Amino acid sequence: MVQSKKGAVVITGTSTGLGRATALKLAEQGYRVFAGVRTEKDAESLKQAASADLTPIIMDITKADQIQSASEFVSLAVGDEGLVGLINNAVAAVDGPLECVAIDEVRWQFEVNVIGQIAVTQAFLPMIRKAKGRIINISAICGRLALPYRGLLSASKFALEAITDSLRMELRSSGIEVLSILPGAIVTPEQADKVEAGYQKTLANMSPEAKAIYGKNYRIYMQRAVEGNRNTGLSVEKVTNVILEAMETPKPKRQYFVAESPWQLKLKALYKRLLPHQYFYDTFYFDNLRKALGLD
């Protein structure tokens, strides 16, 4: 067993984007990183990019056998040292008007974003307990403010926030911190390509009746989301810096919001608490969104 300067961390979903950047950053900062990927090709790419202590592990979080194999490998590697951190980053994003999304896609969304998160946490929790480490769930702002046309992503992130709260209470006696990071759109070209291809496919599969109802608004809304992932969103470095802070601060916050305009986000959160629920969503939130984007 090899001891690291800052301890061992497991991160899921590190093939691209935020997960990859987080794995590389934590390794550079002196952590021993076990980085979950789904293919040998992604493992080799990540290993070549790393200049420090980083070990890719094959772990599709929807496959129980891969989770078990990965947890056994990490347990043997860290021994009594345990894990100082588990970062649940793996994510899937199913877009589209809820009326038009195939039920199999609904199941897939929750299999990755909810069930998979629980399965990974269960598998690695004994190692977290050994080190009195912390669990960091990568959520999203839509885990607090639901979005149109991204209702399934919003629902799964709301669920992840509830899971985070429950775990935080249940694990308090074990000295384990549980928290979440809630970023807005992040500039990741790979994600921009996925989102664009996904919404174009959904549009193509819509019936003429559905296109007449949803087509224009859906296209406008999702194109803005693509632009956020391609150009106008948060830098990956800004989010990884917050994750590092959440890993290292002695008393982490329950939620870390990451946005270009934090004051606007805090103002919306305040209005959501103070205004009647229906008025907030129907009048304040969605009306302003509709006017800003030119939706019908």
CA dihedral of 254, 119, 234, 38, whole degrees rounded to 10 = 160
Whether 113 has a pLDDT exceeding 60, the answer reads yes
User: Contact at 8 Å (CB) between 240 and 21?
Assistant: yes
Give the Cα separation of 209 and 202 in Å (integer). 14
Give the Cα separation of 101 and 110 in Å (integer). 13
Q: How far is CA 238 from the centre of its chain?
A: 15
Express each pLDDT in 255-295 by its tens digit. 999 998 877 777 888 888 899 999 999 888 888 888 989 88
Mean pLDDT check: name the lowest of 14-18, 91-95, 104-108, 267-271.
267-271
Whether 25 has a pLDDT exceeding 60, the answer reads yes
What are the start-end ranges of the H helices in 146-248? 151-170, 189-205, 208-227, 236-248
Residue position matching structure tokens 């799964």: 156
User: Contact at 8 Å (CB) between 106 and 152?
Assistant: yes
Quote the pLDDT of residue 114: 98
Residue 281, class by beta-carbon neighbours within 10 Å (0-12 exposed, 13-18 middle, 19+ buried)?
middle
Give the Cα separation of 229 and 223 in Å (integer). 10
Quote the pLDDT of residue 21: 97
Average pLDDT over residues 60-69: 98
pTM: 0.94
Nearest CA-CA partner of 77 in 8, 31, 20, 5? 8
Whether 94 has a pLDDT exceeding 70, the answer reads yes
Tokens read off for 195? 């989102």
Quote the pLDDT of residue 267: 84
Cα radius of gyration rounded to whole Å, the chain: 20
Quote the pLDDT of residue 3: 56
Query: Average pLDDT of the chain?
Result: 95
Quote the pLDDT of residue 288: 87
User: Contact at 8 Å (CB) between 11 and 36?
Assistant: yes
Average pLDDT over residues 148-160: 97
Tokens read off for 263? 């004051």
What are the two backbone dihedrals, phi and then psi, of residue 42, each rounded to the nearest 5 degrees? -65, -35
Give the Cα separation of 55 and 70 in Å (integer). 11
Provide the total of helices (H) and of strands (E) in the chain, helices listed first: 12, 7
- Per-residue pLDDT band for 51 (boundaries 50, 70, 90) equals confident
Quote the pLDDT of residue 218: 95
Express each pLDDT in 232-253 by its tens digit. 999 999 999 999 999 999 999 9
